[in-house]
Every structure is written in structure tokens, then in C-alpha cells.
Amino acid sequence: MSARALLFRNARLVDPATGRDGAGSLLVEDGVIADIAWGTAPEGPEGAEIVDCAGSVLAPGLVDMRAFVGEPGAEHRETLKTASEAAAAGGVTTIVCMPDTDPIVDDPAIVEFIRRRARDTAIVNVCPAAALTKGLAGREMTEFGLLRDAGAVAFTDGARSVTSAQVMRRALTYARDLDVLILHHTEEPDLVGEGVMNAGERATRLGLTGVPREAEIIMLERDLRLLRLTGGRYHAAMISTAESVALVARAKDEGLAVTCGVSINHLSLNELDIGDYRTFLKLSPPLRAEDDRQAVIEALARGTIDVVVSDHNPQDVETKRLPFAEAADGAIGLETLLAAGLRLVHDERMPLARLLAALAVRPADILGLPQGRLARGAPADLILLDPDDPYTLDARELRSRSKNSPFDEARLQGRVLMTYVAGRLVHRYLR
């Protein structure tokens, strides 16, 4: 029996694929978008469920390219179920989970386990990324072809960088031949060393060891040179400095198949927000100076930076309630990704369609997924959004099993009212 048709009326439709933003209606049948009408409502089939959007924004669900989920192995921090509930509440309908699990996702059987487990317990789409190297050790490549066939959408060592240029060269060569995506964390670990925050005056004043910007820049420049040598498709998971922006812009001008992301934390916060050793803001890469934050915002607005990610990395109190230098890196972000991003819209740094392009259509295109757009035949992964609803975030109310949010007690504006996956309601905000 087919699912009941849905007709969304009186909506402000925002399609990030075309940039179109205006009043209209949308019809969903059998889990896909069946019709779109800008200005006038299409006639729904008899018995269709009517959703009166009352002028709220109807847009594609978000696609988050970087989420660390504890399952398997660290379910006390997060499970696929709790991560998916947090994602749905934040308007994220597809998450790419990193391979930093126990066991590590370097075998087709683990990819299949995650996909099966997600089917059984998650309420949003879950796409596993497989390890780039066996055991995330950076020495021996995994079986790209077998892992791809099992359902891996990209290859990455998660929060680790591949230090061997030869291994990365081989990986890019195989990626080219198999047409798969390399997704790399760009930090030179020897330069990171014992560093725990951005190197500079603020780190000195706090008595903390700094991480120089060059740790990111040198690794990124090496990767781009190897990309020139080999071809293939390469995605820098997160960049955070003005010089990294310049490197990516130059590589794109040369025609290299390079894309890059930025975390919502680096768009919203800078090193001063660490205040008096707030461990929820201990991240990798670290929060940068304000000049770098402004540079990545401008790069996102003009399209040099392709995607925005949550970098969702749940940590429990045992790993965060420690002195800053000893605390684990990472912050949760699935539920606050869109609301924090809307600050850029409210500050008139970019239109809503541009922000949603970086949160939905661009990541979907890079991953080869059909989501992220309002188009006939596209999956009906949709969000209904009130972009102006103000509130103060209480991390205790977040759906994630861990509560290490850098936006705890922050004033945010914008709330997801409903989230649909394949036309099925998976989240409703009750005022």
C-alpha cells in the first residue's frame, strides 16, 4: 500500500540548487517530490494530507558530511538512534558517519553492519564513510572497491591525517581509477604536537601550548600538490585559515577536482570564545583568530568553500570535565548546525539559499546523492523552518546522548518545525 500523498501549501519554498526563493506549494507522493508550484498550489490527489506551512520555509533536508557516532564501540557517547534523533531535530536528513569506531570501518562487513543497524534504529539516512587506511594507521590502504560496493560513500581516516605522502599519492590514484572521494583531515600531527588551541597571544595568555596555522596549511598544500600529480577527487574536510582558503581557490582556478568544507564552529566562534578554559570549545582544528573566521565566512559566501559540516563529535563528562590541555577534542553539533548557520543570514552575510546550498545541495552533489534539492523526482527529504524563532539553547534538552555543545546558553534564532525523510514525518517541534 503506497503512503498517503502530502500537499504542502502556503510555504516559502527555498531551492538551494537553483537559488529560487518564493511562495509556493509542493506535492509529495510515494516518498518523492511529485510536483512543485511557485505561486499557485498544485491540485493534490483525493485524500492527500494537507500541511499548511503558514508562510514558513520549506527546504531540502540538510546533508552533513562529517559526524562522529559512537556506534559501534562507544554507545555511551552516541548511538545511531540518538544521533539520528538529534539530526532530525536540527533539520539534518542525511549524515555521513566517520570510521573512527570500534571496530574501525575498514572492512566491508562493518560497513554493512552500520547500514543494517541504521535501517533498524535510525530515523534519518545514514551513509558510512570507510577508513582510508587499515586501522586508521596511515600505512596501508583499505580495499576501496570492496568497501564502495558495500555502501561506503567516501574514504577518510576521520580525525587523523595521513602523514605519508606516498600513501596519499596511491590513495588519490586509486580514487581516480575507481571514481571515489577522498575526504581528508588536514593537520600535520608533528606540527600540532602537544598544542591544544590556536597559537598566538591568546594561547600565551592562557598558558596553553599553541597549534600553528601552518599545521593545516602545510598538509593541505601537500595534498593539493599530490592531487595535481594524480588527478582524482579530493575533499578537504575542514579548513579554518585565510591561507587555506587561498590555496583552495587557486587549485579550483587550475581546474583540480577539489572541494572543501568548514565546520559551523569555525564560522560562528573564534579563539576568544574559549574564555576561561571552556573545554567544550576544544576542537581540532582549533578555533582561530577573528581574521581567519571572517575569511572563511567570505569564502563560503562566494562559493570557494563548498560545504558546512557539524563536525558532530560527542564526548562524555569523563573526557570533557578535565583541565583544558587534557580534555578530548570535539563538540556536538547536529541539532544546532542550521540554527547557528542562520546567524550568517540574519547578519546579512549571505542569503538563505546560499547557506542551504552549502548545507544540502553541495554535499549531496559531492557525495553523488540525489538529496538536497526541490525538484520533481528528488527524495522528499524536507524541513519546515521558522528562521526567525528566537530562543536560548539549553544543552540539557538536546537529543544527543552527550551534551558537549559549544552553543550551550547561546542565543539562537531559527527552529526546525518539521522534518520529513522520504515523505515520512520524523520530527515535529511542539511549541
> If 0-12 CB within 10 Å is exposed, 13-18 middle and 19+ buried, where does residue 376 land?
exposed
Pick the catalytic residue from 311, 381, 386, 408.
311
As given in the structure block, the three cell numbers for residue 301 are 559566501
Phi then psi for 224, rounded to 5 degrees? -70, -35
Cα 401 to its chain centre, rounded Å, is 18
Angle between helices 80-89 and 108-121 (to 10 degrees): 60
Strands 6-15 and 20-29 come out as antiparallel
How far is CA 202 from each of CA 196, 208, 213, rounded to the nearest angstrom?
Answer: 12, 9, 14
Number of H helices, E strands in the chain: 14, 19
| Local structure of 234: helix, strand or coil | strand
Neighbours of 47 (CB within 10 A): 7
Bond prior to 363 in cis (omega within 30° of 0):
no
DSSP state letter for 133? B
Classify residue 269 by its DSSP letter: -
Cα gap 317→272, rounded to integer Å: 23
Strands 382-392 vs 155-156: parallel, antiparallel or unpaired: unpaired
| Closest C-alpha to 334, from 88, 35, 14, 78 | 88
Give the integer Cα–Cα distance in Å for 240 and 225: 19
Residues 6+ apart with CB under 8 A from 385: 56, 57, 58, 59, 91, 338, 414, 415, 416, 417
Beta-carbon contacts of 69 under 8 Å, excluding residues fewer than 6 positions away, are 78, 79, 80, 83, 95, 97, 98, 101, 312, 314
What 3-state DSSP class applies to 424? strand
389 belongs to the catalytic site: no
Task: Choose among 362, 248, 379: nearest CA to 306.
Answer: 362
The set of catalytic residues is 311
